[in-house]
Structure 1
Amino acid sequence: MMDNLTLKILLIEDDLIDQMAFKRAVKEQNLPYEYTVASSISEAAKILNNEEFDLVISDFSLGDSNLFDIMNTILQKDIPIIVTTGIGDERTAVRAIKGGVDDYIIKDADRNYLNILATTVDKAIERKRSILERRLAEVALQRSEEKFRAITSSAHDGIILLNQQGTIAFWNDAAMHIFGYSSEEVLGKELHDLLATPEYYESYQEGLDILRTTGHLRLAGQIIEITGRHKSGKEFPIELTITHFKLQDELFVTGVVRDITERKQAEQELNQARVAAEAADRAKSEFLANISHEIRTPMTGIISMAELLIDTPLDQQQQEFANTIFDAGHHLLLVINDILDVAKIESGFLSIDNSIFELTPFLHSLSRIVSPEAAKKNLTFETLINPDVPFHVNCDPLRLRQILINLTTNAIKFTDQGHVTLQVSLEKENECDASIRFAVSDSGTGISPDNQNKLFQPFVQVDTSITRRHGGSGLGLVISKRLAEAMGGAIGLESTLGQGSTFWFVLPYTLSTKKLNECAGKNGTDTILDSIPVPKTSPTSGTSSDVVIAKLMHHVLLVDDDPVSGRVAQYQLNKLGCSVQWVTSGTDAVNEVLNNNYTLVFMDCHMPGMDGFQATRAIREAELSMGRRIPIIAVTARAMEGDREICLKAGMDDYISKPVELPKMKIILDHWII
């Protein structure tokens, strides 16, 4: 083959003089030819089978053969051919050119034809090169088109090509499947007339005009959702992405179309499922709230009336009966609270409300709650706080107190002699975080390894005889475990049979030096009752003189539609030195506040007609022109997550849940009216 501009030529010539003349011309003209001579067609055929050439120069007639006998072999190899023929035989030469020969030279007697040999060879080579390049380009184009069609045919998305006039130039199989038209039906047709709905016509034409005048395509590369039209006339949602390009000075637009009918149906079904799930969640939440309200309201009457009864002149047997009612009511309330807490957790209504507070006073107040229970069993209870434990922490104090009370009261319940200890230590600390370990140890009987795994399961206690003796729902540890995990911590147990048990949990606390400094000296709670726990012990017996009754100087408005709860609260407030005006509706409450001067309002949240939230908002709005603001305390039997925030947002100042015992009521009064 041609290498460094040297042409490799096969000369087919049976005349020795012509062979010599060719050789002499190549030498004299210093032509860059490397040549091989064949004296016959058969010899040339053998040479062509073994070698490759850039050009064949052949006499037309060689003995009993001619060039036509070998021409197909040469042409199949894409080798240019120059034929030489005698004067007067031009018709044969033309015939040869029609058969595929590239050029011809007419021999003359003086062999002057060799003077134009180089020019003829160059023309033949160039012509052949152009043909080959064109053929290669055609093959490449054909392969490219085949590849393009293979890709577009296998694509699941419709691919549509438009020219700048807006007519369809290409249409793949997926587009046919999406819209129902075959390629023959759409090629050369206006896209909008076939596929688009009328509302897009104006913007479509405007986009084409901008493309023609500026070469810019609006929304190029963006995914847009529009409505398409099927051949049947049915409209359906499609997702469209458009791009544009220029080919041979003509602009084209490519649209990739996806039928999103199924996706839209799935989204609609998902949305319907979400709405149904939200409705179910609301129904569950409302059910829990209603159950809580329906249970706590009569419990208010039982516990509070027993509490008031105990503080009246009674003989010994009556005092014992009243104390039994009070204690049994409290026990029932604890079981009910545990069941409701588990129901809230399982229903996904558990929330964590972090705030910054002082840990040491918090633990001391907890000790004051638990110590009386330990003293009843002659147990020693102590709280040990390591010196490196932070004074301020940031977590949910209500949930922390709930876990600690569950663990400590459990330890006291199942320990008959010895001690119960709450040990608080720093697990780890860095600039931003700390983990604090709370461990409750007892000197009880211990728990076997087989039974330890059962403890954190709902309604499970390891010894049914102990359950019958001590009572309980078996839910305290389950609740503690869920709360600890919700706060980002972990809970566990270490116990040896006969040597006592240690229940521990580790909680992470995010530290903020700036915020902790700002909050130094504050308890970090939203309501006074959250920061001052009240012991759940039976009131001591005595007469009404045991309670210091102040001069009736505080005028309190009590708003409650329940006759039992209202009567209990009225007795409690009277006992604590307040005069009480009791109304049973939100409307009456608003009228009373507007027309009288009250020191404090206890507002039931859930009443028929105007509820407590609406009444509070009406009072707060009226107070804007009155120049004063009366404290309003929310009272509710629902005790659901988020109730406190709802009350404060409505304009109430504090929150208390039923049943309201006398010590809790006194704390509220001491905080707000003294």
Structure 2
Amino acid sequence: MCRITLNYFFNSFWFIILILLTSIQAYANDTSSLCLVWQNNVWAVLLFFILITGVVLAWIKWRIRYIESDRKKLEKQVAAQTSELVMSELALRESERAMQTLVSSLPGMAYRCINNPERTMLFVSKGSYELTGYRPDSIINNKETAYSSLIHYEDLNPVNLNIQEALKEHRPFELIYRIIDRTGLEKWAYEQGQAVYNENREVVAIEGLISDITERKLANEKLKQAKEDAEMANRFKSEFIANMSHEIRTPMNSILGFSELLLDKIDDPQHKIYLQNIQNSGKALLLLIDEIIDLSKIEAGKMKINPEPVNIREIIDGLELIFIKKIQDKGLGWKTDISNDLPYTMLLDETRVRQILINLVENAVKFTQKGHIYLSAYCILPSFQPSRQENGLNDNDISRKIDLVFEIEDTGIGIPENQQKAVFKSFRQQEGQKTKKYGGTGLGLTISKKLAELMNGQVFVESEVGKGSIFKVVFSDVEVVKELNILNTFEISKSNQTAGFKVPESDNHKQAENNISDKEKNRLAELIQLLDHELIPEWEEVKDVFFIDEITEFALKTNKIARDYNIDFLIDYSQRLYDHSQSVNLEDMEKMINEFMVYINRIKSMAN
């Protein structure tokens, strides 16, 4: 349409131009001719104006359509943006609703507060009612009460100090304190919070969560009290076992001692059998008592480990003497293998190491009917060993540590894989084991494992049913010391006689004791320190428990110390105590144990 209109317009335009040119020429010739020209072309002029009007109208219509198109586009854009705004508003409302739901479901009171002494709340969740007894609108802006007024007066200052310290260090804080709710009930609260900062790192507000932990706190208190009660009961149990063992062991030692004496004086074979049965039963009972006492000591934390220089080869030789008869009677093979690089002397508790090995070898002998029993000992050296030339020291001057390993291999009945952990538990034996045939209480392996752990060690087992077992004991970081010339406990070396000091035995011994040199006084001070830190604590335990074997060990240790420092009267005392323990002279043994401090005080008076 527009193109047709334009064509008509241009055609009329040129036609009008033509008329104008003709009119100009006519006007130049004659005025009447001009009028004639216009008269002849009036329809052309009229058509021209009509065309002009059409063009203008077409342009106006086109413009209107263009404006209408822009309006529709603008309306679509407005509609789209309006839709986006509506969706954003709906999403914001949904987010706020979800946040309100989340905050309401939190187990406690979510909050946002001003950092001031009153802790003025700007927002609190609905959990405030359950925690404090106040609804949110009662706490916000301190309408009815300020939150700080609910905190227990004893906890208020520490709470404020901890919060301010955390804010100063720009870190979150955690607090446990008491609050008093609206009804006056005391509750325990756990608060987690952190500050909200502006671009200048200034505190704008504090946000966090406060939870009611009263039930958990009370449960912890009950648990703590129950633990203390259990520990006290365990102490009472240990004391009871110690007292009971004392009451049982004392007459049992007498029975065994006198039955052994009667064996040498009775010729009747039947009576000898009776006495041997008494002895065997008594020894079995004493063994059971010893195991229960050892386990009780370990569980009560009263088992003491006393490391001293030990020769492992002597311990293994001693085991062979103990079990060789049983091994030969059963026709078993016995072999020991000690590695050549195993040091001769190490710091260990000889008594406990021997006890562990005796338990393991005894089990091997008990459960092996044919085949062999092998005992091996070797060491695992650390990855780093100091050089001999380092710092000008030789090997003897360097303190080394090794891992000491014992392996006891047997060809006995074996242990199923699913029971290999259970055999180390108290009073547990292998399922299907014939107790009447093998006997035992199920404590030997338990005690061995716990003793090894006390000495930084572990006990492991590898076993196959019908083929045998290998028990491995590993002591970690055992210190190697210089080889010692281990003498008999009751032998006096010449070096000890010359290095120590002699205390004359005379009626006026106090005067003689005062005539000692300064060097001897220094030795006395060293001895007194040794007595205070080692011997006296051991004597207190021996005196209370009164075990024959522990008294024997105490006498031997006292005798060694006395000979090291050449104290004649202490040597005589320890020798007599040892003799009484070997002859089971209970009355004199108890009397001498009670007199021990008399001799200690005599030594201490020598240093004054």
Among 465, 475, 481, the residue aligned to 1:517 = 481
Among 271, 288, 297, the residue aligned to 2:224 = 271
Aligned to 2:605: 626
Aligned to 1:284: 237
In the TM superposition, what is the alpha-carbon distance from 1:458 to its structure 2 partner?
A: 4.1
Tell me, yes or no, if structure 1 residue 225 matches structure 2 residue 176: yes
**2:414, 2:94 → 1: CA distance?**
78
Q: Mapping of 1:607-646 within 5 angstroms?
A: 622-623=601-602, 626-627=605-606
**1:451, 1:220 → 2: CA distance?**
53
414 and 156 in structure 1: CA distance in 2 versus 1, 3 angstrom threshold: closer
**Is residue 229–residue 235 contact of structure 1 (8 Å, CA) maintained in 2?**
yes
Aligned to 1:31: none
SS at match of 1:231: coil
SS at match of 1:602: helix
Alignment deviations for residues 509-537 of structure 1 (CA, whole Å, 9 cap, x no partner): 3245xx313575579x999979x99xxxx
**2:136, 2:474 → 1: CA distance?**
67
**2:99, 2:433 → 1: CA distance?**
76
Structure 2 spans left out of the alignment, 5+ residues: 1-51, 384-400, 490-533, 539-548, 554-570
SS at match of 2:184: coil
Tell me, yes or no, if structure 1 residue 508 matches structure 2 residue 474: yes
Aligned to 2:185: 234
Aligned to 1:181: 134
396 and 244 in structure 1: CA distance in 2 versus 1, 3 angstrom threshold: same
Among 312, 315, 327, the residue aligned to 1:362 = 315
480 and 556 in structure 1: CA distance in 2 versus 1, 3 angstrom threshold: closer
One-letter amino acid of the counterpart of residue 376, structure 2:
V
**Is residue 220–residue 242 contact of structure 1 (8 Å, CA) maintained in 2?**
no
Tell me, yes or no, if structure 1 residue 172 matches structure 2 residue 151: no
**Is residue 171–residue 187 contact of structure 1 (8 Å, CA) maintained in 2?**
yes
Aligned to 1:438: 407
SS at match of 2:593: strand
Among 598, 602, 605, the residue aligned to 2:593 = 602
Structure 1 vs Structure 2: percent identity of aligned residues?
Answer: 20
**More RCO (CA 8 Å, sep 6+):** 1
467 and 344 in structure 1: CA distance in 2 versus 1, 3 angstrom threshold: farther
One-letter amino acid of the counterpart of residue 196, structure 1:
I
Among 255, 274, 281, the residue aligned to 1:302 = 255
Tell me the TM-score normalized by structure 2.
0.55
Tell me, yes or no, if structure 1 residue 156 matches structure 2 residue 107: yes
Q: Mapping of 1:65-464 within 5 angstroms?
A: 76=79, 149=100, 152-163=103-114, 166=118, 167-189=120-142, 191-192=146-147, 195-199=150-154, 221-245=172-196, 251-310=204-263, 315=267, 325-338=278-291, 353=305, 355=307, 357-374=310-327, 383-392=336-345, 397-409=350-362, 421-426=373-378, 430-431=382-383, 434=403, 436-441=405-410, 447=413, 456=423, 458=428
Aligned to 1:572: 583
**Is residue 374–residue 412 contact of structure 1 (8 Å, CA) maintained in 2?**
yes
One-letter amino acid of the counterpart of residue 572, structure 1:
S
**2:76, 2:367 → 1: CA distance?**
108
More strand by share: 1
In the TM superposition, what is the alpha-carbon distance from 1:490 to its structure 2 partner?
A: 1.4
Alignment deviations for residues 154-191 of structure 1 (CA, whole Å, 9 cap, x no partner): 43342333335643322222234322222322222152
**Is residue 344–residue 350 contact of structure 1 (8 Å, CA) maintained in 2?**
yes
438 and 245 in structure 1: CA distance in 2 versus 1, 3 angstrom threshold: closer
Q: Mapping of 1:582-597 within 5 angstroms?
A: 582=588
SS at match of 2:583: helix
Tell me the TM-score normalized by structure 1.
0.50
44 and 151 in structure 1: CA distance in 2 versus 1, 3 angstrom threshold: farther
Alignment deviations for residues 446-481 of structure 1 (CA, whole Å, 9 cap, x no partner): 6489999799584669786x956xx74364765577
Aligned to 2:16: none
**2:367, 2:185 → 1: CA distance?**
74
Count of aligned pairs between the two proteins = 446
**1:369, 1:394 → 2: CA distance?**
24
One-letter amino acid of the counterpart of residue 436, structure 1:
V
477 and 314 in structure 1: CA distance in 2 versus 1, 3 angstrom threshold: closer
In the TM superposition, what is the alpha-carbon distance from 1:264 to its structure 2 partner?
A: 0.7
**1:397, 1:434 → 2: CA distance?**
16
**1:150, 1:458 → 2: CA distance?**
55
One-letter amino acid of the counterpart of residue 172, structure 2:
G
**Is residue 124–residue 136 contact of structure 2 (8 Å, CA) maintained in 1?**
yes
**2:295, 2:587 → 1: CA distance?**
38
**2:180, 2:280 → 1: CA distance?**
75
**Is residue 160–residue 175 contact of structure 1 (8 Å, CA) maintained in 2?**
no
SS at match of 1:507: strand
Alignment deviations for residues 124-173 of structure 1 (CA, whole Å, 9 cap, x no partner): xxxxxxxx99x999999989866765654443342333335643322222
Aligned to 2:544: none
**2:93, 2:432 → 1: CA distance?**
82
Aligned to 2:458: 488
Aligned to 2:511: none
In the TM superposition, what is the alpha-carbon distance from 1:73 to its structure 2 partner?
A: 7.7
In the TM superposition, what is the alpha-carbon distance from 1:506 to its structure 2 partner?
A: 1.3
One-letter amino acid of the counterpart of residue 605, structure 2:
M
283 and 583 in structure 1: CA distance in 2 versus 1, 3 angstrom threshold: closer
184 and 396 in structure 1: CA distance in 2 versus 1, 3 angstrom threshold: same
**Is residue 452–residue 493 contact of structure 1 (8 Å, CA) maintained in 2?**
no
In the TM superposition, what is the alpha-carbon distance from 1:222 to its structure 2 partner?
A: 2.5
Structure 1 spans left out of the alignment, 5+ residues: 1-15, 24-35, 53-71, 80-131, 534-552, 560-565, 575-579, 590-600, 604-614, 630-674
433 and 169 in structure 1: CA distance in 2 versus 1, 3 angstrom threshold: same
In the TM superposition, what is the alpha-carbon distance from 1:260 to its structure 2 partner?
A: 1.6
**1:452, 1:430 → 2: CA distance?**
33
User: Please, what is the CA RMSD of the aligned residues?
Assistant: 5.8
**Is residue 360–residue 408 contact of structure 2 (8 Å, CA) maintained in 1?**
no
**2:101, 2:433 → 1: CA distance?**
74
